[in-house]
Amino acid sequence: MHGTSTLEEADRLMTVCNSCRYCEGLCAVFPAMEMRRAFSDGDLNYFANLCHACGACYTDCQFSPPHEYDVNVPKTLAVARAESWAAYAWPRAFSGLFANNGLAISIIAALCVAAFVFGFAALNDRQAMVGIHTGPGAFYALMPHSAMAALFGAALLYAIVALAMGVRAFWRDIGEPIGMLADPPSLWQAIKDTAGLRYLDGGGVGCVNEDERPTDRRKIYHHLTFYGFLLCFAATCVATLYHYLLAREAPYPFWDLPVVLGTSGGIGLLIGPAGLLFEKSKRDPVLVDEKRTGMDVAFILMLFLTSFTGIALLLLRDTSAMGPLLALHLGVVFSLFITMPYGKFVHGLYRFVALVRYARERRMMAGGASVPE
């Protein structure tokens, strides 16, 4: 007996697949499944988060509908994956945010933007709000750096703690007895697999989208989004070091490192999410967990808006639009931070953790050990 009907269905499918084994070369899910003869809830959640939703095992399956076995691995694992994220959420009281996630994120984002816009308007006179501020420290004419650092530092710290608690719950659920960092080779293998999105290629041919002709477009747009996000994060880190170590205040010139990193990342975060949205609109509905479409779209839009408002601020920072744009950008970024543990953002972390476990299992098997039941 499993904890949910989704896990019951996942168990049924994995039992069929374990007899068939036709898809074992497509991704990491099938080799991980083949290491077992029975599946616990934790094993099924592990497979679900190991799956990259490429869709290849549906297209290739001789038992997919209308066959009576009704095998649809991508969709069943997508539902199990989303349900596992809600189960691991910290604090548990917020796990409900995963349901109707698109609406929840939209409301939180709108409230955050409104709070920054009205806060700026209330704390500054009209002259300052729509005035022209230039040179180092221009942003802090509207919001003191100390207040900005305290507010965003607290939001980021909260997100990191909540995400770490979720990862801890997942690691325990999948039955790993030791710390993740205790096995550096597996960690390194998972980093390489994540950096290259190794399993988002349907076994080498690409993702299945609107028809049965696979392409690499989803992988390319995902790379642009992922590396764009990392570059923007690096820009923020460098700017923080500039502020505290070199006593250099933002905004910085266009040629300076934080701006170069932020602009490069921002372009990736415009093209990547736009491409992912386009690809999503063309996905075969049979592969998709329709109930979570709102969550996927909300996360993609939040990344796009973060970049769009950031680039608009960069381009118009020497004009009277700087005040309203700064409020808008800060509102979007703040809402992105506080909603990160309760939306699609978590897929990257749990997938990475699943890849660490997979690499560990592969190493154990190569060493002649068996996977603990």
Give least dist CB 201 to ligand SF4, A. 9
Among 5, 22, 132, 315, binds ligand SF4 (CB under 6 A): 22
Is the bond preceding 91 in cis, omega lying within 30 degrees of 0?
yes
Alpha-carbon gap, residue 9 to 78, rounded angstroms: 12
Query: What pairs with residue 207 in β-bridges?
Result: 215
Assess 73 for contact with ligand SF4 (CB under 6 A).
Answer: yes
Nearer to ligand SF4, 16 or 130 (CB): 16
One residue of 46, 88, 199, 221 binding ligand SF4 per CB under 6 A: 199
SS3 212: coil
> Applying CB under 6 A, which of residues 32, 44, 57, 109 lies at the interface with ligand SF4?
57
* Helix pair angle (257-281, 293-316), 10° resolution: 150
Q: Alpha-carbon Rg of the chain, whole angstroms?
A: 23
63 binds ligand SF4 (CB under 6 A): yes
Rank residues 17 and 87 by Cβ distance to ligand SF4 and give the closer one.
17
Q: Quick check: 61 binds ligand SF4 (CB under 6 A)?
A: yes
Report the SS3 class of residue 369. coil
- Which range binds ligand SF4 by CB under 6 A, 15-23, 116-124, 156-164, 348-356? 15-23
Binds ligand SF4 (CB under 6 A): choice among 32, 44, 51, 117: 51
Nearer to ligand SF4, 63 or 94 (CB): 63
Residue 52 interacting with ligand SF4 (CB under 6 A):
yes
Of the two residues 237 and 286, which places its CB atom closer to ligand SF4 in the complex?
A: 286
The only residue of 2, 4, 16, 151 in contact with ligand SF4, by rule CB under 6 A:
16
Q: Does 206 bind ligand SF4 (CB under 6 A)?
A: no
CB 210 within 8 A of CB 282: yes
Quote the least distance from Cβ 217 to ligand SF4, whole Å: 15
Three-state DSSP class for 207?
Answer: strand
How far are the Cα atoms of 101, 121, 159 from residue 295, in angstroms, in the given order? 5, 32, 18
Q: Which two tokens stand for residue 171?
A: 């690691």
- State which of positions 132-151 bind ligand SF4 (CB under 6 A): none
Tell me if 54 contacts ligand SF4 by CB under 6 A: yes
Region near ligand SF4 per CB under 6 A, out of 20-28, 242-250, 262-270, 338-346: 20-28
Helix boundaries (H) for the chain: 5-20, 29-34, 41-50, 56-59, 73-88, 101-123, 126-129, 145-173, 184-195, 217-245, 257-281, 293-316, 322-339, 346-366
* Binds ligand SF4 by CB under 6 A, chosen from 7, 31, 39, 55: 55
Instruction: Give the dihedral sign, CA 102/103/104/109.
Output: positive
Rounded CA-CA distance 227/47 in Å is 25
Q: Does 74 participate in binding ligand SF4 (rule CB under 6 A)? A: yes
Contacting positions for ligand SF4 (CB under 6 A): 16-17, 20-23, 26-27, 29, 51-57, 60-63, 71, 73-74, 77, 199
